[in-house]
Amino acid sequence: MSEKLNIVMAQLNLLVGDIDGNTERIISAAKRAEAEFAADVVVFPELALTGYPPEDLLLRPSLKPRVEKALRRILEQRIDPILVIGFPKSTGEAVYNSLLLARQGEIVAEYWKQCLPNYQVFDERRYFAAGDRACTLNLKGTRIAFTICEDLWEAEPARQAKDAGAQMLVNINASPFHTAKLEERQALVCRRSMEGGFPVVYVNLLGGQDELVFDGGSMAASEGQLACQVPQFVEGLFSLEVQVDTGGACRITPQQFSASLSLEAQVYETLVLGLRDYVTKNRFSGVVLGLSGGIDSALSLAIAVDALGAARVEAVMMPFAYTSQLSLDCAERQTRTLGVEYQVIAINEIYASFLDALEQEFQGLSVDITEQNIQARARGVLLMAISNKKGLLVLTTGNKSEIAVGYSTLYGDMAGGFDVLKDVSKTLVYKLARYRNAQQADCEAIPLEVIERPPSAELAPGQLDQDSLPDYHTLDAILELYVEQDLSFESIVEKGFLEADVKRVLRLVDLNEYKRRQGPIGVRLTQRGFGRDRRYPITNGWSLGE
């Protein structure tokens, strides 16, 4: 006769370093899972106690006593279901990325992560020692094994679990979003299920942490097929029913499936979640941004409103002599549509005062890009002043294409605390703008004229972006090959691009590393975003070539 095993996947949004707060959230979720779902097992994400990634907080002397206090608090609740909780385990000089299994106030088993990722945004070998053995538990006649995140990406821990007699595998995760990551996880979970001959349950973290966004999307596979997929970007407790047959063999019949999201939808939700959590978890009252009448600031404004609500967003138009009437009209119309506070502060007199002060320094020198940068820096001063006075976070609005080649002004339009479009190419900006408008047929969140007009910084008469850059389709294609795939100059040219375009773009990327180091952080979307992913020296003698 078969048994039913009820596993609750606790897809929670936790705060790095808030051990007390995370502990209370774990306790609350566990009690809910027991009361509402009659849970046998409640599974929490990787390092749930500290949040992920805790980085150098793991080196703090008070880490161990804080974690031990939190675990005592959880055990005191004497909760009946098996709790699977990720935490850092300190033993002597070593710290392990660990999970424990607790039931009715007792720790019944522990597991130490074996495979420590040390690539892209991960540097776990800096902090953790590696475990070397499987962890299994008998429950309702079946043997369940437990692993942590990267352990599933390597084959050995799953084989080890199978050799230990496991009939089901539970894997806890803090897996950040990048484009196509959900599909990669689904394929992996199905493959491990097929190889092991057992169901695999995969529970992921949710929420924004600096530039990383954890998108949830917890799931389960049985007999090599996806059997459950819970929503991305949604916090909650999700119940999973497992059938346990005679002898302990497990199977999961297809159950909860969330609708698949398009690329644009996944990216947009990632940006919204990343911005919301950065603002809220850092306790800003809201955001302020410069609205130019261009597509980047228009999209940034729409994302900000969706993340925080119109009442927490302020937009400021700062026109100059080269600002077109179309820019003024579009900016005003968008702010009325979205219902945000809107101010117009002209910079003509501010700009003139800078030139007056610099008259002697500039005597005998011709007008050049310096004067354009002064316009951008005047706007940066105004936004930072509003930020200081009102406690608002300044959003910068540069996209990845511009940031890559330095088409931005240090201490000007780069001045701010967060850039929501930092890893969004210009071509993707247009797709996201059209996607956002399509979500509300009766509300044009981003004016159509903004989407259709030629892009321009409007820092000089008749200026267009394409006067100084290749067209964005060409630029973005070259950038993807160089920045995200690390191809050489020759390899990119061989793909059919003009040698002059490639040389110019790659040179600009290399030259502007110093700017990017001083810019704000922003949401990571690709596997090689500027920031934690891509680390090149500013001072170097490397030349273009193989």
Secondary structure string (H, E, C) spanning 459-489: CCCCCCHHHCCCCHHHHHHHHHHHHHCCCCH
* Separation of alpha carbons 86 and 280, rounded Å: 24
* Residue-level pLDDT at 177: 95
pLDDT value at position 260? 87
Q: Which of 331, 207, 340 is nearest to 274 (CA)?
A: 207
CA angle at 128 for the pair 93 and 111, rounded to the nearest 5°: 95
Residue 89 confidence (pLDDT): 96
Q: Collect all residues with Cβ–Cβ distance below 8 Å to 71 and sequence separation of at least 6.
A: 49, 87, 100, 107
Q: What is the pLDDT along the chain (546 residues), one digit of tens a residue?
A: 578 999 999 999 999 999 999 999 999 999 999 999 999 999 999 999 999 999 999 999 999 999 999 999 999 999 999 999 999 999 988 999 999 999 999 999 999 999 999 988 889 999 999 999 999 999 998 999 999 999 999 999 999 999 999 999 999 999 999 999 999 999 999 999 999 999 999 999 999 999 999 999 999 999 999 999 999 999 999 999 999 988 888 999 898 788 889 999 999 999 999 999 999 999 999 999 999 999 999 999 999 999 999 999 999 999 998 889 999 999 999 999 999 999 999 999 999 999 999 999 999 999 999 999 999 999 999 999 999 999 999 999 999 999 999 999 999 999 999 999 999 999 999 999 999 999 987 889 999 999 988 776 656 566 565 666 789 999 999 999 999 999 999 999 999 999 999 999 999 999 999 999 999 999 999 888 888 878 888 888 888 866
Q: Spell out the domains of the chain, with CATH numbers in brackets.
A: 3-260 (3.60.110.10), 265-460 (3.40.50.620)
What's residue 456's pLDDT?
A: 66
Identify the pLDDT of residue 192: 97
Extract the tokens encoding 351. Answer: 């700009």
Q: How many other CB atoms are there within 10 angstroms of residue 332's CB atom?
A: 17
pLDDT of residue 532: 81
**What is the rounded distance in angstroms from the CA atom of residue 102 to the CA atom of residue 300?**
44
- The residues that are catalytic are 46, 113, 149
- Rounded Cα distance between 100 and 89, Å, is 10
d(CA 207, CA 213): 6
pTM of the model: 0.94
